[in-house]
Amino acid sequence: ALWSIVECPILFLDEFDVFMDQINRTMAMDLILSAVKDKLNGQYVFLTPQEMGAINPDQYVKMFKMPDPKRAIDMVSTNQENEEN
């Protein structure tokens, strides 16, 4: 809500879609991306743990996917497999 009155060169939006269903996520992302493309005087970073397959990268949209976290249970099963061999 404050983005329209605050002029920052970089804006972050963290986990805005965590509690949204797929339909609302798609509508929210479409609205956000269209608003951002109208204001090309800054950089915008959106962080989400959700899948972003519906978003198509273009000259204005770049996507970076972090690797899945290694969980303790994954490490235990890997160690057990190594001990068996």
- List pLDDT tens digits, range 62-78: 888 888 888 777 666 66
> What is the model's pTM?
0.62
Length of the chain: 85
The reply to whether 43 falls in a domain is yes
The pLDDT, as a whole number, for residue 35 is: 82
Residue 64 lies in a domain: yes
Terminal CA-to-CA distance of the chain, rounded, Å?
57
Structural domain contains residue 15:
yes
Q: What is the mean pLDDT of residues 15-34?
A: 87
Range of the domain at 64: 10-84
In a domain, 5, yes or no: no
Is the CB of residue 46 less than 8 Å from the CB of residue 13? yes
